[in-house]
Amino acid sequence: MRIISIVGARPNFMKVAPLIRAMKEYNSLKSILVHTGQHYDHEMSQIFFQDLELPQPDIHLGVGSGTHAEQTGKVMIEAEKVMADENPDLVIVVGDVNSTLAAALVAVKLHIPVAHVEAGLRSFDRTMPEEINRLLTDAISDYLFTPSPDANRNLRKEGISKEKIFCVGDVMIDSLLYNKEKAMQSPVLSEFWLSSKDYALLTLHRPSNVDSRENLAQIISAIEQVSQRISVVFPVHPRTRLRLEEFGIPIQVSVLLLPPLGYLDFLNLEMNAKFVMTDSGGIQEEATALNIPCLTLRNTTERPITVTEGTNTLVGNNATKIVGEAFNILDGNPKQGKCPNLWDGKTAERIVAVLLNK
């Protein structure tokens, strides 16, 4: 069986790495890794291949940056050539970036079955580009691998046949558990003179937060208030750094600004943080698996299980709410959570088992 796995952007790499490892266990599977190049610089791409022990891509499309339409169109044009040449039996797409939807569209029109890993997640906010990518990819996929029961329910409500839906757990947690020991060896704390549980970790990149001067200023104001009580460590996404400069929003010296980090260094920072503040989807999951309190700087989440069962609290971009919840944690009242069912590091094995059976 010839299987093409598509990766395009930073969030995809952690999801594909366990699948590549699981497929290697079977001589009957021929794995072909295609990198669309949606993320392409060292900090956002190459370092993740090194940290996650991902093999170098068999094919690199090199589409680069651009508008949503430009990226999606470029991926479709180049992916069609690859699929025509390789004639795969299955195409695996992961997550919700533009490359995910583009590759799925191409495969379906070439009558190649599509498996979507991390299917069924819904924020119910259609202003998010990722939400559109999720909805459309799920509608045309043949195998929908979900991380949690709520994702199954979303798909059934949308009329998708239960025969296509497989609740297998969260493949992101496969990567986390596989790399946890290695991440513990990272020297990142000593490099930046940090001590475990003596800092909060911040990530911020979502357009709704960083492309609005008002929203970004609100969040930075809250972060500066939090930093009066605990150090805040902030690896700055390239998009966010650009907006901070463009809007002329200064950041106090009590916030430690870092460049984008590799997977292992970031995981070490996450494991040792007192709590996390983020607008990332994957970090909500990782924080729950690590039992680290998480404040999500959004009003909605496509991963509600991290709120209902995990350590996640939605605080939006309201400065008062962010500061209030952060101080609640610092006052010794963190949210208690548990790791959801099937988040056990064996999701990729279950996915491959389903594909072999089918």
DSSP state of 42: I
Contact 223, 201 (CB under 8 A): no
Is it the case that residue 91 has pLDDT exceeding 60? yes
pLDDT at 8: 87
The three-state secondary structure class of 334 is: coil
Residues above pLDDT 90, as percent of the chain: 89
For the chain, list the domains and their CATH numbers.
2-169+343-357 (3.40.50.2000), 186-330 (3.40.50.2000)
Alpha-carbon torsion angle 56, 61, 64, 66, nearest 10: -140
Is the pLDDT at 315 greater than 70, yes or no? yes
Give the per-residue pLDDT at 42: 44
Q: What are the residue numbers of the active site?
A: 205
pLDDT tens sequence across 18-62: 999 999 999 999 999 999 986 555 455 678 888 998 989 999 998
Q: How confident is the model over 198-218, as a mean pLDDT?
A: 95
Q: Which of 135, 177, 34, 118 is nearest to 351 (CA)?
A: 118
CA distance 265 to 262: 6
| Number of Cβ atoms within 10 Å of the Cβ of 73 | 15
Mean pLDDT value across residues 144-165: 98
- 292 vs 105, 201, 270, 271, 339, CA distance in Å? 37, 11, 8, 7, 11
Provide the whole-model pTM.
Answer: 0.94
Task: Quote the pLDDT of residue 353.
Answer: 97
Over residues 246-305, the pLDDT tens digits come to 999 988 768 999 999 999 999 999 999 999 999 999 999 999 999 999 999 999 999 999
**Calpha distance 99→166 (Å, rounded):** 22
Percent of the chain at pLDDT > 70 equals 97
What is the pLDDT at residue 39? 57
The answer to whether 141 and 160 are in contact (CB under 8 A) is no
Q: Which pLDDT value is given to residue 356?
A: 95
| Kind and range of the H or E run holding 275 | strand 275-278
